[in-house]
Amino acid sequence: MLTDRPPSTAALRARFLESDRLTALDIPNDDRLQASAESIHSAMHGSTASSVRHACTEFLSVASGFYLVRQPAIRVLAARPLRVREGGSSIELFGDYDPETMLIRLWMRTAIRKQVTSFGTFLSTLCHEFCHHLDCQRFGFRESWHTRGFYERTAALYHHARGTPVKPLFWVRAPGERWRIDWPRTNRGA
Ligand SMILES: [Zn+2]
């Protein structure tokens, strides 16, 4: 995972840094999101897009209720369209979010090799796109950059929903004032 390049204007840059520093995200103290995530997992075994969409809608309903935001719409597509609008410098292989229509799209297969998306990747994409929604609807980060804070918030939501412990993320500098996750260190936890 790689962060976006910071914007060049001072005002936007300040907002970017705010998003970068916002590393914490409140998470519910019940297990309703975990139960919804499990329903998504079961639905993926049947692999019809409509049952998966149904389970995702439930997940988004619970999450939106907790974070007090409007519920985004969801579309689950069997395969990724070959041409897809990609925001800025990031390439999102498994989903996207449109801030205008508040629509999350997720796909169950990748475009190129037609591989089935794993449950872990699918759930982490759902959490990622929902965090774009939170940026726009709750935090006022309209550009919803991929900052270190954004990835930390996404990880907090994902690990809560998956029922796995949150790992501290370790970052290393990348060219162009960007950061990327140091996976060996992150996986080692030191
Ligand atoms: Zn994104």
pLDDT tens digits along 161-175: 999 998 889 999 999
Q: Is residue 5 part of a domain?
A: no
Query: What pLDDT is stored for residue 24 in this prediction?
Result: 95
Query: What pLDDT is stored for residue 114 in this prediction?
Result: 65
Residue 163 CA, ligand 1 centroid: distance in Å: 22
Q: Is residue 56 part of a domain?
A: yes
Q: Is residue 90 part of a domain?
A: yes
C-alpha 59/C-alpha 150 separation (Å) is 20
Residue 129 CA, ligand 1 centroid: distance in Å: 6
Torsion over CA: 177, 183, 189, 190 (sign): negative
Query: In whole angstroms, how far apart are CA 155 and each of 1, 31, 54, 111, 159?
Result: 12, 17, 23, 25, 6
Mean residue pLDDT across the chain: 90
Q: Is residue 156 part of a domain?
A: yes
| Cβ neighbours of 155 (radius 10 Å) | 23
Residue 150 CA, ligand 1 centroid: distance in Å: 9
Domain count of the fold of the chain: 1
Residue 88 CA, ligand 1 centroid: distance in Å: 10
Q: Which two tokens stand for residue 144?
A: 């919803």
Query: What pLDDT is stored for residue 116 in this prediction?
Result: 74
HSE-CB of 183 using CA atoms within 13 angstroms: 2
Q: Is residue 65 part of a domain?
A: yes
Q: Is residue 88 part of a domain?
A: yes
Residue 146 CA, ligand 1 centroid: distance in Å: 6
Query: What pLDDT is stored for residue 89 in this prediction?
Result: 38
List of the chain residues with pLDDT < 50 = 86-90
Question: What residue numbers bound the domain in which 65 lies?
Answer: 10-188
Evaluate if pTM is beyond 0.85: yes
Q: Across the strands, what pairs with 75? A: 105
Residue 54 CA, ligand 1 centroid: distance in Å: 22
Residue 187 CA, ligand 1 centroid: distance in Å: 22
Query: What pLDDT is stored for residue 49 in this prediction?
Result: 85
